[in-house]
């Protein structure tokens, strides 16, 4: 199975993943909409469907959506002393709610985020870190709601492409860097994240571009493109 199918099957042990529509399994078995998918059904689907079909085939109940993201953000806040000291409900709860509500608009992003949380918890915690930075920075700089939503969406989605990367690269350690020449390695997640977002509705091109380039450096030493200057 490709990486995302592998992660999906793994996540099915702890998440309630259901069929969105009728799916034909092995040996003529038919699974109707709402049926809870296990690893065997997911593996069978991987033989008949493209990875890009996953969000259209399945949905998650339980640990998924804006309420769970808000809860995870609060728990993460309590675990980081400096962040907890910065937090002021009066100042920050508007942006906190505005950001989490984006998952109501983008159910496919909520789906991927739930898989990331279960299968790549270190990367999920890094996402939570980025989301708090966007909240604190936006309040401090007086960002508009629209600009904040764009920044928060970048934080939500920049690492979702890791679910399309071979676990050899995502799990060998907590900083699994790979060569620029290794098209299937760690840094390929920037392309996978962008490709995923291009299939989502109402994601601005500038958000996708920022995610494609979030490992680039101004001096051209970044990954995977080595962009510099006005690039």
- Rounded Cα distance between 39 and 222, Å, is 37
Residue the block writes with tokens 């790549």: 120
Mean pLDDT (the chain) is 91
According to the model, what pLDDT value does residue 180 have? Answer: 61
Tens digit of each residue's pLDDT (9 = 90 or more) over 145-160: 999 999 999 999 999 9
According to the model, what pLDDT value does residue 168 have? Answer: 81
According to the model, what pLDDT value does residue 121 have? Answer: 95
Quick check: 182 pLDDT over 70?
no
DSSP letter (8 states) at residue 229: T
The model's pTM: 0.92
Asked if 159 and 189 touch (Cβ cutoff 8 Å), the reply is: yes
Exposure letters 191-227 (e unless 16+ CB within 10 A, then b): bbbbebbeebeebeeebbebbbbbbbeeeeebbbbeb
Tens digit of each residue's pLDDT (9 = 90 or more) over 7-38: 999 999 999 999 998 887 667 778 899 999 99
DSSP secondary structure string, 122-171? HHHHHHHHHHHHHHHHHHHHT--HHHHHHHHHHHHHTTGGGGGS-HHHHH
Quick check: 173 pLDDT over 70?
no
Q: Using CA atoms in the order 52, 15, 23, 21, what is the torsion angle rounded to 10 degrees? A: -80
Q: In the numeric block, which tokens belong to residue 165? A: 């990367």
* Residue 160: exposure state from Cβ atoms within 10 A (0-12, 13-18, ≥19): buried
Q: In the numeric block, which tokens belong to residue 176? A: 């699994």
């Amino acid at each position: 199975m490709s990486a995302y199918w592998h992660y999906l099957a793994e996540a099915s042990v702890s998440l309630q993943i259901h069929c969105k529509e009728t799916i034909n399994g092995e040996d003529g078995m038919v699974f109707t909409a709402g049926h809870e998918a296990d690893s065997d059904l997911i593996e069978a689907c991987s033989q008949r469907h493209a990875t890009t079909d996953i969000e259209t085939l399945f949905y998650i109940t339980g640990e998924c959506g804006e309420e769970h993201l808000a809860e995870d953000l609060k728990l993460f806040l309590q675990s980081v002393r400096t962040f907890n000291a910065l937090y002021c409900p009066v100042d920050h709860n508007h942006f906190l709610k505005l950001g989490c509500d984006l998952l109501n608009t983008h159910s496919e992003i909520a789906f991927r985020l739930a898989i990331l949380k279960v299968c790549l918890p270190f990367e999920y915690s890094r996402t939570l870190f980025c989301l708090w930075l966007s909240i604190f920075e936006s309040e401090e700089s007086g960002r508009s709601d629209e600009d904040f939503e764009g920044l928060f969406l970048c934080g939500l989605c920049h690492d979702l492409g890791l679910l399309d990367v071979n676990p050899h690269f995502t799990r060998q350690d907590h900083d699994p860097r790979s060569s620029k020449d290794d098209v299937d390695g760690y840094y390929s997640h920037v392309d996978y994240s962008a490709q995923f977002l291009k299939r989502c509705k109402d994601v601005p091109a500038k958000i996708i571009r920022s995610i494609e380039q979030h490992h680039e450096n101004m001096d051209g030493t970044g990954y995977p493109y080595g962009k510099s200057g006005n690039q």
